[in-house]
């Protein structure tokens, strides 16, 4: 897509707002829509155009990007507004793969393109983007995606981007739970958790979460970052994805309940590393 | 410990044999014992002295190193043979922390010093060694341990080395299970697992197991490495360690059963990455 | 409801067909609809009237009963066909509570009334019926429900019937898994499982599944009964119900994966007692 | 065994004391030992003879009964005191099967005979007794066991009694957890738990725990009964029994951690139905 591509951007929240800003800055013609008028004002301040409705935003668009909370919002936008068959629809929301596949059945020229990297990645245009769909559509979307992301990978057919995102989220949730159990075991045994985790970080157990988060976890600092509430949503997607293809994932099933417990215990707005509190409370240590 | 330290080395198996060899090569006076006469011959070929019994090996030793399968063998060696109070006992076996603490109650000048790094680490003298016990004893043992290891860390009081090892093993087992569930989900969804795991390896889910083992796992190559049977033993230690200090570890409890299933399904002699087969079989995919 | 009540019955499958027959036999004026023409023929042979469409069935009905596979079918029937506000809608399908609540928001005169007792209960008019909704509507529906069920209980507001059914299914699934683990442990230990379970059935572990199914389970006879596939659906409902009210259910989460494994391993058409095969396979015993 | 059999009874605690009393009352010649002198006084008041040591109690005994907390105490009594080969040793403690088998290897004329029924069962001589060992020894012991129990079943070879007891405890623990999850789901959904559980108690989910304990659980009355601490010990035995025969029990593994959590959260002295508190706390409901 050359500069000056007409892009409709639906969903201008914490992620969508900076992404739309980068697209404007890259020279594209961005018309955005969001239910929040503050979000629309922000877009205009960035040099984009505020639409009065999704339908209004869609008018004349060559590319439609959606960045929405979950599948009902995406369905609402995509299924109740007319979309020209030639438009390239890029859904960057994290939703269940089955919805991405259903969208592609109605609008074949679509990509599922969920991201990882969070708010920081959106602001710094350094997101990782996992893309499912046709090769030609991926090629067409790539220049636009490169404006907001650093690693952009075509992982397979429609829905594949969502499956990879689901796999990512189940691993991240699981590793947090394991680090939490290690910390609880070390502390309860009278071992300095920092010394212990330093050793673990140097061996086969090494992982990025241990690198980035072990100090804040030991200090019980849980400022998000990525909220438990969002990870809870994503674990629902992972289990739904497994169900759709008839596989049973025992550890994922358990991690989903631990994260649900985090939310139920009132930690929904904390960083997902607060899974440590769930594991602590389970042993009455808090 | 200067060169020429008199070291008794009990347990000359896959790990102990190369370790004893390094100690001889470093100029120490090593007398070893093992129930296998082949192991004793090997030690003599390395320039060490073969003892006829543990008691024989202990005679005149300044340092005793034990490298044995599990706590009953360690108890057998340590509790049924007289040990001069001044001798520094370094148990490098992976056993439950409670036994290390019980040993220290009888023989205060002892260290628990389990290792990670496996057979390769033993051969290349690049083991990580997690040490529990008194600071002064650690200082005294360090020069000897540096002959066989690369990272030697004093992590806390008696038993702390075993606790850190247990934490390491629960994390490693858990990450294998998570990688396995990711692979099964990707493959069942028609997504190329290599492409999917490549993306995961570049984000927050990044971990050393993904780096080292994702290709062999996708190819279903499970040559050990570290056997499921040994990891099964170690998960028993992790749960025992948790029980001793009254903490409950839900994910560790589940991983222990998955690894037990690996053994029960006949994969005990395969690498622990064969946990993938357990997860596959669980979904009838094999 | 007096004799001669005009009842529309939508969903004449394994459960619905005998239920509709009982209602005809009790003197009610039953018009039924099903996508299967064989089902419609069966209804006519029972003395009911076959409708050409849901809309056709609804015409003039005082009571509408739905007995459908899952929430999409119920939504399809209830949300896309006009229903007079005075009509009493009794949904006897097992679906997620949130859909029952959504139905009640659109059509307040509705009851959720899922059943237990299976095909046999439907044929013998001995179903247990758990009813959620308004007291007055329950009172009005009761005479009709008594034609098909033996135990009819008003358990709470809209959705409550489905919640109780979900609680039932999670307990039944869990007890099957426990009986399976007991059998595997006994057999692997060389203990006659019959002798062992006989003792268990006489103590605090006593339960109806042990009474009814221990012999068939030991003999590996898994003729349904209630199929794993259906229980898989119901575990999805239980987890969805928990999610709606923000509770985390660790055992239910695990049982859901075990039943999913049953389906994935190819036992979907067997009785849910075939969970024994999942537990056996997990230990490589089959 | 005729009246007047010379019985040594070791372990006169909450269970052993009333059992020894019944044996005296039945006309047997009971010499008991316990570390507590109050327990010895109680035995003398019942008409038995207090011994000064285990060795003293063993002198002249035809039958030795042990009723002790766990395997280390049993090993201590049985392995460090000489026992005439002709003496019939009946260990009624709940311990791991592997220890029962080890005892039988040293003293073939032994039975493992753990009980269920608790303190009430001991007082009312209504215990269920699960016996492992030789048929002839079982026949010889039966008249003695009938003095303290109501249901006495020979379930298999040495260790089989313990395996059946382990199977019982894993089922009981699991059913408590399931009832707890049902209560939490019902309450969180605004459904009266009594009404809901009444329905469950009438269907396939029916079980004795629901019958005996649902009212006290809903009322949060957790007076023991059987303490969480003891059930924690027994889950350790169940997992050990599974490990010995190389089976993996996923649900048992999870229930063990839930009960461990109960103890860690400070409910060790409450009835095992207090597992409800663990499940509640997991969802932040307390």
Residue A270: give its domain's CATH number. 1.10.1040.10
**Residue A118: domain span:** 6-157
Q: What residues of chain A lie within 8 A of the CB of C243, using their CB?
A: 236, 260
Number of Cβ pairs closer than 8 Å across A and B?
239
The reply to whether residue A195 touches residue B153, judged by beta carbons under 8 angstroms, is yes
Cβ–Cβ under 8 Å, residues B113 and B129: yes
Interface contact flag, C164 D254, Cβ < 8 Å = no
* Token pair belonging to A212: 């980035």
Q: For position B256, what pLDDT does the model report? A: 98
Residue B217 reports pLDDT greater than 90? yes
Per-residue pLDDT, B286: 83
- Is any Cβ of chain B less than 8 angstroms from the Cβ of D50? no
Question: Same structural domain for residues A10 and A144?
Answer: yes
Could you count the other beta carbons within 10 Å of the beta carbon of residue C90? 26
**Active site members of D:** 165
For chain C, the domain total comes to 2
pLDDT at residue D151 greater than cutoff 90: yes
Q: What is the CA radius of gyration of chain C?
A: 20
Residues D148 and D224 in one domain: no
B171 pLDDT more than 90: yes
Q: Which candidate from A188, A190, A208 shows the least CB-CB separation from B206? A: A208
Whether A146 is in a domain gets the answer yes
Provide Rg for chain D, Cα atoms.
Answer: 20
Closest CA to C168 of D49, D179, D6: D179
Dihedral sign of CA atoms B191, B195, B198, B202 in order: negative
B12-69 tens-digit pLDDT: 999 999 999 999 999 999 999 999 999 999 999 999 999 999 999 999 999 999 999 9
Domain-embedded: residue C1: no
Shared-domain flag, residues B23 and B140: yes
Residue B1 lies in a domain: no
Question: Which of D 184-243 lie inside 8 A of B, CB atoms?
Answer: 236, 239, 242-243
What does each C-alpha distance from C74 to A232, C18, C64, C117 come to in angstroms? 27, 19, 12, 21
Out of C243, C256, C258, the one facing A236 most closely (by C-beta) is C243
Of the residues A251, A260, A264, the best mutation for testing chain D's interface (the one with the most D CB atoms within 10 Å of its CB) is: A264
Same domain flag for B173 and B197: yes
Catalytic entry in C165, C213, C233, C277: C165
Q: Which residue, C247, C178, B247, A263, is CA-closest to D262?
A: B247
Whether residue A170 sits in one domain with residue A149: no
* Residue C32 within a domain: yes
Domain termination residue (choose one: A122, A137, A157): A157
Judge whether C165 counts as a catalytic residue: yes
B174 with B210, same domain: the answer is yes
Residue in D102, D232, D247, D250 to test binding to B, most B beta-carbons within 10 Å: D250
- Claim: this prediction has a pTM higher than 0.80: yes
Q: Which residues of C touch D192 (CB under 8 A)?
A: 155-156
Domain boundary pick from A157, A192, A209: A157
pLDDT band at D3 (very low <50, low <70, confident <90, very high): confident
Helices (H), chain C: 16-25, 37-46, 54-58, 71-79, 97-106, 118-123, 135-148, 160-188, 193-200, 208-218, 228-244, 250-262, 275-282
A264 in contact with D at a CB cutoff of 8 Å? yes
Domain edge (last residue) among C131, C156, C181? C156
Query: What secondary structure letter does DSSP report for C26?
Result: T
Same-domain pairing of A192 and A89: no
pLDDT exceeds cutoff 90 at A210: yes
| pLDDT tens string B144-168 | 999 999 999 999 999 999 999 999 9
pLDDT band at C3 (very low <50, low <70, confident <90, very high): confident
Residues B10 and B151 in one domain: yes
In this prediction the ipTM stands at: 0.96
pLDDT tens for each residue of C159-218: 999 999 999 999 999 999 999 999 999 999 999 999 999 999 999 999 999 999 999 999
C-alpha to C-alpha distance for A184 and A283, rounded to whole angstroms: 8
Touching subunits of C (3+ CB pairs, under 8 Å) are: A, B, D
Q: Measured between alpha carbons, how far is C40 from C28 in angstroms, rounded to an integer?
A: 17
Based on the fold, state whether residues B98 and B145 are members of the same structural domain: yes
- B275 and B203, same domain (yes or no): yes
Mean pLDDT of B188-211: 96
Q: With respect to residue A116, please indicate whether it lies within any of the assigned structural domains.
A: yes
| Nearest CA among A132, A46, A144, A50 for reference residue A93 | A132
Give pLDDT, residue A1. 63
pLDDT at C2 over 80: no
Kindly state whether residue C180 falls inside one of the protein's structural domains.
yes
Q: Are β-strands B149-156 and C6-10 bridged in parallel, bridged antiparallel, or unpaired? A: unpaired
What does pLDDT average to over chain B? 96
Please name the residues between 240 and 259 in chain A that touch chain D, using a CB distance below 8 Å. Answer: 250, 254
Whether residue A1 lies inside any domain: the answer is no
Q: Measured between CB atoms, which of B181, B208, B279 is closest to A204? A: B208
Please state the rounded mean pLDDT for residues A3-17: 95
D285:A264 CB<8 A: yes
Pair (B15, B112) in one structural domain = yes
Q: Which CATH number belongs to the domain containing residue A135 in this structure?
A: 3.40.50.720
Whether residues C152 and C19 share a domain: the answer is yes
Q: Cβ contacts (< 8 Å) between C257 and chain A: which residues? A: 248-250, 253
Whether A183 has its CB under 8 Å from any CB of chain D: the answer is no
How many other CB atoms are there within 10 angstroms of residue C219's CB atom? 9
* Min distance C179 CA to chain A CA atoms (Å): 19
The reply to whether residue D261 touches residue A283, judged by beta carbons under 8 angstroms, is yes
Question: Does residue A202 belong to any structural domain of this protein?
Answer: yes
């Amino acid at each position: 897509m050359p500069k000056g591509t007409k892009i409709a951007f639906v969903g201008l929240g914490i992620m969508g707002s900076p992404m739309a800003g980068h697209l404007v800055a890259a020279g594209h013609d961005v018309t955005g829509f969001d239910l929040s008028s503050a979000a629309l004002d922000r877009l205009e301040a960035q040099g984009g155009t505020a639409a009065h409705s999704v339908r209004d935003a869609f008018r004349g668009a060559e590319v439609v990007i959606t960045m929405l909370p979950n599948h009902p919002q995406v369905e609402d936008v995509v299924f109740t507004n007319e979309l020209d068959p030639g438009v390239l629809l890029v859904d960057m929301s994290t939703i269940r793969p089955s919805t991405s596949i259903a969208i592609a059945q109605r609008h074949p020229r679509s990509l599922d393109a969920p991201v990882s990297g969070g708010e920081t990645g959106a602001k710094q245009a350094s997101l990782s983007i996992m893309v499912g769909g046709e090769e030609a559509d991926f090629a067409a979307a790539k220049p636009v995606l490169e404006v907001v992301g650093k690693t952009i990978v075509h992982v397979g057919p429609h829905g594949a981007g969502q499956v990879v995102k689901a796999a990512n989220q189940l691993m991240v949730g699981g590793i947090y739970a394991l680090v939490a159990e290690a910390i609880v075991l070390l502390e309860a045994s009278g071992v300095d958790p920092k010394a212990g985790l330093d050793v673990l970080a140097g061996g086969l157990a090494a992982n990025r979460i241990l690198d980035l988060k072990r100090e804040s976890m030991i200090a019980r600092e849980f400022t998000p970052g990525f909220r438990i509430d969002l990870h809870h949503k994503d674990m629902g997607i992972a289990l739904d994805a497994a169900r759709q293809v008839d596989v049973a994932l025992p550890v994922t099933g358990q991690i989903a309940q631990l994260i649900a417990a985090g939310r139920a215990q009132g930690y929904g707005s904390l960083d997902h590393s607060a899974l440590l509190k769930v594991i602590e409370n389970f042993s009455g240590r808090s």
